[in-house]
Structure 1
């Protein structure tokens, strides 16, 4: 009975998807072509995963994009040709570093604007605080009156 249970368990482990996971193997004509392929798979974002490049993603779409990249490089296409194809198909979102255009300008400028506004607010508050402290300086007459009031409280 135990041997049967062990065999069933081993068969179940053997049939699990993780045990059957395949590793992509690509053969290149030259080391330069392989280098370009790896650069592209690091520079292109997986549209499904969004925070992973197509080289790191396990999504089926990322695998398809890796395969398409490989095929295009085997056809003699350049790195720019592959990027143009991917952008035409998936938009600038597929690029980790989108180009500076009117539509992406907010992505490039907004961090600077936020930092500048934050610094302006800090300086404005600091200036207001020093101005409030300067306004609270008492005249000689007011200081004398305050001293008299404080002395009066000490006597009682």
Structure 2
């Protein structure tokens, strides 16, 4: 039984990916500079991996992007300049939060448009259903007079139907 537990522990150890923190490879003059680097690389998407930021990706392109972020930081570039340079090189896809402009306004507005559209559809369905039910429940004048004759005891109307 001990051998089984030992084998299981070894299998789990080998199956667990070894993740070294990216910041350990770079030399920073201060903790705030390192935090700025970590923030930048966590906000940029890997063009190859697509759903991973460049901080977590092991793709060579992500390594190049991390190196470029570090180099530009050392050259004194602002966060905006760094992001703009990488967007110019790799495209807007690398941004998790693209800026709001004429090309992306529909992307930003779509959730609100979809919610309002869904709400209007629900309201329309409820309104139509209530109108239909009201129409079906209402008696016509002919039905009302026939009901009155039946209730008054007029047997001729009952016999004819």
Task: For 1:146 and 1:54, locate their aligned partners in 2 and report how far apart those are by CA, in whole Å.
Answer: 78
Show CA shifts across 1:58-78 (max 9, x none). Answer: 211111111111111122222
The answer to whether residue 31 in structure 2 is matched with residue 31 in structure 1 is yes
Q: How many residues align?
A: 131
Show CA shifts across 1:31-58 (max 9, x none). Answer: 1211110010111111111111110112
Q: What is the root-mean-square deviation of aligned Cα atoms in Å?
A: 2.3
SS class of match (2:100): coil
Task: For 1:33 and 1:64, locate their aligned partners in 2 and report how far apart those are by CA, in whole Å.
Answer: 19
User: Normalising to structure 2: TM-score of the pair?
Assistant: 0.72
Aligned equivalent of 1:139: 140
Q: Give structure 1 regions of 4+ aligned residues with deviation exceeding 6 angstroms.
A: none
Task: For 1:145 and 1:29, locate their aligned partners in 2 and report how far apart those are by CA, in whole Å.
Answer: 96
C-alpha change, 1:90 and 1:146, in structure 2 (3 Å) is: farther
C-alpha change, 1:40 and 1:23, in structure 2 (3 Å) is: closer
User: Normalising to structure 1: TM-score of the pair?
Assistant: 0.74
5+ residue gaps in structure 1?
Answer: 1-17
Highest RCO, 1 vs 2 (Cα 8 Å, sep ≥ 6): 1
Aligned equivalent of 2:10: none
Task: For 1:124 and 1:86, locate their aligned partners in 2 and report how far apart those are by CA, in whole Å.
Answer: 47
5+ residue gaps in structure 2?
Answer: 1-16, 151-157
Task: For 1:22 and 1:99, locate their aligned partners in 2 and report how far apart those are by CA, in whole Å.
Answer: 32
Task: For 1:35 and 1:121, locate their aligned partners in 2 and report how far apart those are by CA, in whole Å.
Answer: 47
